Amino acid sequence: CTGLRLEACDFSDNYHNPAHGWGELPPRGGILLERCRQGVILGSKANRVWDALHLVDTDEMLVDGNDFSHCSNTCAKLWHASRNRFLRNNLSYGIRIDRAAGEVHARDSTSVLIESGSDDNYWFRNDITQGGDGIFIRVLNGWVSRGNTFVENDTSYANNNCIESWSPGNTYLRNKANHGSYGFWLGGSDQTVLIGNEAAFNGLTNGNHNAPEPGFGHGGIVLVSGSSSHTILSGNWCHDNNGGGIVFRGDAGSRGASWRTHHWVVQQNRLEGNRWGIWGRWGDWIWLSGNRSSGNREPDLLVETTRVMQATAEAAPGPAPRALLSGPARAVVGVPVRWDASASTSPSGRPLRFQWSVGEVESAFPTFEQTFTRPGFYRLGLIVEDGVLADLAWRDLVVTAPVAEELGTEGEAARWGFELEGNGDGRGRMSFADDPDAVVGRSSIRFRPDPYPGMYATAIYPAGRKGDFDLSRKTRLRFWIRATNPNLPGFQNAAPVLWLYTRGGSVRLAPAKEGNLFGQLPFSEARWTWMPVEVPIAGDVAWSRTASGQVDLAHVTGVGIALDSWGGDPFTVWLDGLSAE
């Protein structure tokens, strides 16, 4: 539907189940909109329901001045719903808990739930208080939600986290996150901006104080349990928290070896009356400037943190520099690539200094040039500072190696075929298309099983296994892959599985111990960008090899890539640079 208008309607007292335990129920409650766009919901009510407003595949709605409070699951729920505007709504008391029985957690109820590719939504001056969580940006299936902006919302008095996010690229401006167990809990929230927020009175023993963390207890703005690269914290007021005002922690299991909190600007924050102003461990490349601490019970704690940088001059009121970075997010091994930050500005008029970092390489000039010798994913970071304040910029950088011959991933969508397990009725299909989102050549191949019968879906090049490739002298298969999967909790069993078909047999190559690369990503950014995969044809400790029948690699008739998902909704996979070397 397009142009729907709901005004002054009351959807209250439909399905409501405060006694339900953990877990989801099918859509029910107040308002459910599927595949709608450019509509308006004004001045309406949905109280004492399961979900007050549930948007599925619904974009560009205006939701203004409604009362969607007192719900047993969520007050607003977004599933693959983008570019919607929520203005001045009452979204409070999205909670399901039996306090009289001494229940501690709120069974994953939350006032606002955002998930599965719900991007670029705008939230302004909503009452999101008293929830299980206030705002919860959830990533149960690996499909992140980015570009959401939250301005001057009140998310206080959440039973668990006033704002919880496991997604990157979201912005929080002048919100209140007070009196929860945590103010902000941001795990896996790379590329996040927090400016001018208040996070106070969180984790107090006479208030909400669930799930204290070893080492720091609770906190105001907390980024732990997931990667948090390229993050700005500026002008926030973190006070009277039972733990750190600002907390960061790299990977605890590996003591920072797997990943570290990386590339932060932390400046002009007021840190008052906490246990620590800043508590940090296993971080790298942290800029600190003009943070005012007073009344904290213990001094700041920064341990096992490298490249901590302090401003050379006392921070004065006024705007920070603005980092302006131009340059690509793609590079090729052996080909020089250049980035330019010389257009960055300094409102104070102070001279700018530049700090670049990618891999093990650093530079201090306005421009930066690098020639890469190995393909892979790289975090390119930039800090621009004037001796007092700083700004940062970055690139998610994909570096590819030249490919002599792609196997079906360059303009050959029409030549692909498929096999679907569990497709006894023959209804299952798989579609293929050439996609301009590519890292090798001009196009990638995009495939989607729809209808998807469940179980393994295998894309095969060429269709009907009618090829004849000589891989007898090849040692490895290489490709790049990315995917979006709406099914919870995503892909299952070994993933991806590679097949080499010959006339008399086949070879199955799978991650060792039936591992799942999508469940054990090599870097956080692989949730939304391309992931490189290299598979030894002979197998090794990381990849298991199983041969069936009479295998003749001099005459390979087809190459297959297979994925198995939970659920039965269609998923989408992009594949590029498939080659044998």
Domains of the chain: 330-400 (2.60.40.10), 413-580 (2.60.120)
Dihedrals φ, ψ of 306, to 5°? -100, 155
Specify the pLDDT at position 315: 63
Average pLDDT for consecutive 10-residue bins of the chain (581 residues)? Answer: 97 96 93 98 98 98 98 98 98 95 91 98 98 97 97 98 98 98 96 98 95 96 96 98 98 95 97 98 96 96 95 77 97 97 95 96 97 97 96 98 95 97 96 97 97 97 96 97 96 98 97 95 96 97 97 97 97 98 94
CA dihedral (491, 496, 497, 499) in degrees, to 10, reads 130
Query: Which residues are paired to 186 by β-bridges?
Result: 165
In sequence order, which residues have a C-beta less than 8 Å from that of residue 357 and are 6 or more positions away?
263, 285, 380, 381, 382
DSSP 139: -
Q: With H, G, I as helix, E, B as strand and everything else as coil, classify residue 345.
A: strand
Specify the pLDDT at position 316: 66
d(CA 235, CA 246): 12
Show the tokens assigned to 164: 């919880």
Q: With H, G, I as helix, E, B as strand and everything else as coil, classify residue 555.
A: helix
- Parallel, antiparallel, or unpaired for β 476-484 and 430-435? unpaired
CA distances from 366 to 303, 349, 352 (A): 31, 16, 9
In sequence order, which residues have a C-beta less than 8 Å from that of residue 174 and are 6 or more positions away?
151, 152, 195, 196, 197
Specify the pLDDT at position 179: 98
Specify the pLDDT at position 320: 93
d(CA 496, CA 316): 53
Specify the pLDDT at position 159: 97
d(CA 302, CA 297): 15
Peptide bond into 462 cis (omega under 30): yes
Show the tokens assigned to 160: 């668990």
